[in-house]
Chains A and B, each alone.
Chain A
Amino acid sequence: MTLLRLDGVSKRFGRGGREQTALRDVQLQVAAGELVAVWGRRRSGRTTLLQVAAGVERPSDGSVRFGGVDLARRSMLGRPGGLAYVSTHFVRVIGETVLEHVGAPVLGGNASTSRAQSLAFAALRGVGAVDCADAGVDGLDQAELIRVAIARALVTQPRLLVLDEPTQDLRLARDRDQALELLRSLARRDGIAMLMTVAEAADLAGADRALTIDQGELRGLTQPAMGQVVELRRSRS
């Protein structure tokens, strides 16, 4: 089932009287539970792709649909069963501890503080970072920070995570591999779809589909692979 669908999406920015095209006629479909990784150089349009896909930026042309909903009409960002943008930026006024930050996205709804904490604990446990619950976000190392950021995104129980270079600040190959393994397991175990950009080919390992973006043009298999057709064999009498 297609969860996210971009049809003929272009994005132009006006800068200093000169227009720049960040995305050109992008077609992309992401299925439920699928991990799609997009490799691109700097200024390739990779971050704009994610912002448009998440509904943070509106496309100049074309449409972005999530679960059939046109994101230009209704944002699905942060809604239960919607999509979540993983960011490692934490605003201090939200709270002091990791637990408060991770639970914050659900406090805007009807959830009580204790319910938010309960969901935050579950999210931290799901990413293997429950030991960070009482720490301050400033004291986290990069490997912990990305896990906490993912937990904060998961707390709203999204069906799609959008991640911009989730391993960019992880220097050790071991830390990168573990972060990527976490994402793969979230896709496999929990059926959460992932759309992420990567700056290094190493981070494509284990993706269901790997694409590239350059000068705003998305290349590769932009649709989920069709299921294998099993030939029907009739028994001969």
Chain B
Amino acid sequence: MANDDIWILGINMTKFGKHPTLDSVDLAAEATLAALEDGGVTMKDMGVIAAGNLMGAAAGIGQQLQKQVGQTGIPVYNVANACATGATAIRTVIMAIKSGETDMGLAVGVEKLSGAGMLGAGFGAGKSDEWTRTGRYGAVTGLEGKLGTDMMPGVFAQVGMEYGHKYGGTSFELFARISEKNHKNSTLNPLAAIQKDMTVEQIMNEPMIAYPNTRAMCSANSDGAAAAVIVSGERLRTLSLEQQKRAVKISASVLTTDPWEEACQILPNVNTLTRNAATQAYEQAGVGPEDLDLVELHDCFATAELVHYDNLMLCPEGGAVDFFESGAPFRDGATPVNVSGGLESKGHPIAATGIANIWEIAHHLRGEAGDRQIEGAKVGLAHVIGLGSACGVHILEKSGL
């Protein structure tokens, strides 16, 4: 292992779902203590913390966590980057290590979202006595429902429909079948919020949220946390052989935002920044999409999964429908996608998601994924996207030892 390589030494995710008796700090502490134990280190070994809790971004979750698990005086970076918050925390620790300021750090993300309902737009102020212009569009009333939607289900529904308009081949049923795949995968993941095998008919007959996404095709709002201990190659070489064997190499870590293109301020363009992040990640890691043994991508809605097959270049441009129909993204396919069950069933505690998907990949690379193990997995990719927008892509590789 080269001195300037970056590795995951320990990593953990809590069970996702409802945790009515635990607060955000409890969940973050649970994941943190387990990640430290997994890596065989303690808070005293950490040189930096990057922590995310999107819904409580002003509260300083990093310091709240320290007060429960170890106040060692190290710098804390509280980060917020929409659904890419967890990936941003990971990347922040990596940058601190790469800069030479420290050789080991902790990234943690936590969210309490059970029962939160639909995320996205507010409905604006109530009607005043006289029409008064506010905001950047000079609107006299809230725009939600009057001029399109900012609610996540409707935004990502349009993203999938736009892909269908451009390339053809999509249908309500196709998107439901993508969801069926992920729900089936979740039955093998005991940490998933929802473990329920559902037929296409059941999925299509669920309450419609925003056509073509029914409730089962939307990510599950849930509580949960995930944490990772990240270490430099130089420091890892000083640790035990067992620690070195279980360490997972971070071959690429990329964060992008959306470059300006026509229409990107009308409907968020989740495609270009994902494609840019993937391109940079493959180049950094020196691997191609064909080398990936598994992928965890950001299926916040079934419609999103389809477009990211293409954006991550798992298929030729415009070929996402054919890719799905070929069986490639299924558990036994050429490029298994979301074997964890994906956000639609594993759950989506926002700031935890970008670390939990890395945990899933690492679990397989270590050969510790139990019933859902992808046999012989050596390389995997984890992707998240947060609207606004921010995209994180990490490529992970099994230790060669």
A, B in one complex: no
Chain A interface (Cβ within 8 Å of chain B)?
A: none
